[in-house]
Structure 1
Amino acid sequence: MNQKRKSSYLRRLFSFVFLLAMVFLIGNAFITVDYNKGISGWSSIIRLNLAKLKMCKIQFRSPGSETLPRGIVASTSDLEMRPLWGAKRNKNPKPNLLAMAAGIKQKESVNKIVKKFRSSEFVVMLFHYDGAVDEWKEFEWSETAIHISVINQTKWWFAKRFLHPDIVSAYSYIFLWDEDLGVEHFDATRYVSIIKEEGLEISQPALDPNLSEVHHQLTARDKKSRVHRRTYKAIGRARCSENSTGPPCTGFVEMMAPVFSKAAWRCTWHMIQNDLNHGWGIDFQLGYCAQGDRTKNIGIVDSEYILHLGLPTLGGSVENKTGSGQFDKTESRHSSDKSKPSSTSQMSSGRSEVRKQTYAELETFKHRWKNAVKNDECWIDRFQS
């Protein structure tokens, strides 16, 4: 009897242990599935956060705006005037910019130039190098023009400081002109239409070779052409031909009346040296800013041509030209007074010093370019022959 009871007890115990084991195994299976699901969920969250972090690191943010939410950043601007009160004027923004160095002695010439640029298509900005600003109020367009006045500074000095690419990015074309230009045969609207059709990133109106001061044969007007991009004439030792690939035969404009696309200007602005006022030397390197092939993307517009008087305004001059392009040879009233230095003599001396400075800056720019090329191991000269 004892043996039977013992056997029955063992069977019950075995059944209980077996049942307990089955409960444990089944329960453990459910716990493992839930655990794996939990691990998988956390793993997905971690992966998403890491991907987001990586994406945020890759995203470019303007220097200085890193602590701001992206949507609040206004990285560009323009030169449009805004009302102090009331509703914003409902008008289309002007697509192009005319920026000029201007002195009050040349106000008639400047007035004629500005009138060639339609007020609906161009913002006008004047760089006053003589300090005279109020004297321009007689012209109707002066009220809506941007006036910046700093004594005895050049067009390039102003451009480097007030035409930053982010400021003028709203404008398709930037006309950076001198004041001593005759525009009788020029229309700005037609000019813009032509350079768009021709795909010119950098351009200038051709110069009337009979009445202009022409420094480079390439910029002289070709009466038989609407636009030309090269010259075939011998220039000093340079033999210009169809195979010529760079200045002074092709890929070049002078600096008195250049016109830049916004992309070309962004590049050119970076090339303007902050401490070199006169900009000499930049013209021969503009091809690097032509957004591609300089022999195609830089050109001279013949159908819209101008007259370049070549007035030496900064530093004074011995003789001043009139609007007709002729010299005014009127002598100073003190020219016969030997006891005092004449105003003519003083102006001549000042102009001579300006001329010396321009040549010195040209050599400085050449030296900097040469060193920059030498020291930049990653730079590739796309025009190297």
Structure 2
Amino acid sequence: MSVAPFLSLLFTSQVDAQRAQPVVASKGSWRSVLQGLPHGIVESSSDLEFKSLWQSSSSGSRIAVENTNHSYSTLLAMAVGISQKKNVDATVRRFLLGNCSIILFHYDGNTDGWCDLEWNDKALHIVARNQTKWWFAKRFLHPDVVSVYDYIFLWDEDLGVDNFHLDRYLHLMSSEGLEISQPALDPRRSVDIHHRITVRNRMTKVHRRVYDHRGSLKCSDESQGPPCTGWIEGMAPVFSRAAWKCVWHLIQNDLVHGWGLDMKLGYCAQGDRTKKVGVIDTEFIVHKGIPTLGGSSKIRRQSTSELETFKARWNKAVKEDREWEHRVRNLTKRKK
């Protein structure tokens, strides 16, 4: 087994996720079940880094993206199928230039078709047929497992990245104080642009709101939430470590299409969502809008049904948690 000199994921691992039993995390404190252990031996987190059978722990892999001012550890996670191999290859190569860790979720069961790519053995591969990226993320990107990473990219497979540079993107996300972001979409080449806030603004590096007075939509400086400000879409989200810990708990285990999540992501921005959620314009992408899971009409019906379920759960949770609005107001004031 060869060892790459600086890439963090060093061999191919396939996990048959469909045979795994569901795991239910305790809502109570773990302190009571850890009483038999001395505190210093408790290891409360993990990561997705491969460990060589013969290297010492002190010779672990280098996972930081370095630029002139900062170092970041990053993870790119994508649900992929072999039909989008060319797109995925281009995206992974872009991220590997920044020494990013890669995990691919194979929803079509095909991993052999990727073996000819030079980076294949540097990515972690997980297999579960006909599952979405939100299904995979809920099961394999638990916050304690990915806590080593400063930023998590949970991207679709049909993106064009010719104008995207990881180091520049991370520098902007950090310097602008963003906890949740996405690259802007090139309006000339992208399809399926549903909301104006995601469209690239050529005049700015980053934008956090959109102004629109057409029809019933009124977006102005007074707007405080989606679709005018404080949100991104779900095709190319980027989360800070703290934001992801919140988002993971927001993802519903049984609602696999993730519809409705984007409208609530701003509550995980660790403060004022109008300030801490943004679209980065200078590092933009193309959304090709290629349907890949098949059975599009059935999938759309299921997605719509899940959206209504998610809305109902959210409304019920807000009604039952009488302190929630107070906590949100305090969080926004404290972390502007």
- Please report the TM-score for the alignment, with normalisation by the length of structure 2: 0.83
2:35 is equivalent to residue 66 of structure 1? yes
Partners of 2:112 and 2:33 lie apart in 1 by: 37
The number of equivalent residue pairs is 291
Residue identity in the other structure for 2:182? Q
How far the C-alpha of 1:86 sits from its partner, in A, is 4.2
**Where does structure 2 lack aligned partners over 5 or more consecutive residues?**
1-28, 65-72, 331-336
Q: Which moved more, 1:228-237 or 1:268-277?
A: 228-237
* Partner of residue 242 from structure 2, selected from 247, 263, 271: 263
Whether contact under 8 Å (1:174, 1:259) holds in the other structure is yes
Question: Per the alignment, in what secondary structure is the counterpart of residue 188 of structure 2?
Answer: coil
Output one character per residue of 1:41-76: Cα deviation in whole Å (capped at 9) or x when no partner.
Answer: xxxxxxxxxxxxxxxxxxx75564232111111001
Whether contact under 8 Å (1:217, 1:235) holds in the other structure is no
How far the C-alpha of 1:135 sits from its partner, in A, is 1.3
Partners of 2:104 and 2:329 lie apart in 1 by: 35
Label 1:268 to 1:63 Cα distance change in 2 as closer, same or farther (>3 A): farther
Partners of 1:225 and 1:218 lie apart in 2 by: 13
Partners of 1:63 and 1:114 lie apart in 2 by: 43
Supply the RMSD in Å over aligned alpha carbons. 1.6
Question: Per the alignment, in what secondary structure is the counterpart of residue 249 of structure 2?
Answer: helix
- Which residue is equivalent to 1:180? 158
- Which residue is equivalent to 2:8? none
Question: Per the alignment, in what secondary structure is the counterpart of residue 274 of structure 2?
Answer: helix
Label 1:68 to 1:228 Cα distance change in 2 as closer, same or farther (>3 A): same
Quick check: which has more Rg, 1 or 2?
Answer: 1
* Partner of residue 307 from structure 1, selected from 283, 286, 301: 286
Q: Which moved more, 1:73-82 or 1:236-245?
A: 236-245
Residue identity in the other structure for 1:112? A
2:62 is equivalent to residue 92 of structure 1? yes
Question: Per the alignment, in what secondary structure is the counterpart of residue 224 of structure 2?
Answer: coil
Residue identity in the other structure for 1:351? S
Q: Structure 1 or 2: larger helix share? A: 1
- Which residue is equivalent to 1:198? 176
- Please report the TM-score for the alignment, with normalisation by the length of structure 1: 0.73
* Identical aligned residues as a percent: 56
Partners of 2:63 and 2:283 lie apart in 1 by: 25
* Partner of residue 232 from structure 2, selected from 238, 253, 258: 253
Partners of 1:243 and 1:143 lie apart in 2 by: 50
Whether contact under 8 Å (2:212, 2:218) holds in the other structure is yes
- Which residue is equivalent to 1:130? 108
**Where does structure 1 lack aligned partners over 5 or more consecutive residues?**
1-59, 317-349
1:256-335 mapped onto 2 (5 Å cutoff): 256-314=235-293, 316=294
Residue identity in the other structure for 1:151? R
How far the C-alpha of 1:362 sits from its partner, in A, is 0.4
1:102-121 mapped onto 2 (5 Å cutoff): 102-118=80-96, 121=99
